[in-house]
Amino acid sequence: MSVYMITRMTIHDRAEYDIYADQFMEVFEKFDGKLLSVDEEPQVVGGDWNATRSVLIEFPDKPKLFEWLLSPEYTEIGKHRDAGATAETIIVKSLDHT
């Protein structure tokens, strides 16, 4: 069953975050994920939204997502993300249509 990772983040050090962003796809493409959306201007239709970037990623299943998330390559570039931004992230399951 597919899973989605939804992240909203606030970038406070663009130079540090850009180091992460510049290396992201090279690492990400090795793990069967799909980058569905990256948006720095989402349309807010309810509630408060103070984040400066939202990201939506799909993986074929939760083990594959965690293989990427915990990989040494992603952990290494993640240091720059953490130095440049704060984030809130959730993982949600797709609907089972069978």
Tokens found for residue 55: 């990201």
Domain 3-93 in CATH 1.20.140.10: no
Q: Would you state the pLDDT for residue 98?
A: 56
Q: How do 34-39 and 53-59 pair as beta strands? A: antiparallel
Q: Which residue has the higher pLDDT, 87 or 96?
A: 87
Residue type for position 33: G
Q: Would you state the pLDDT for residue 81?
A: 96
Residue 91: CB atoms within 10 A of its CB come to: 15
Which of the four pLDDT bands, split at 50, 70 and 90, describes residue 97? Answer: low
Convert the pLDDT of each residue in 32-80 to its tens digit: 999 999 999 889 999 998 898 999 999 999 999 999 999 999 999 999 9
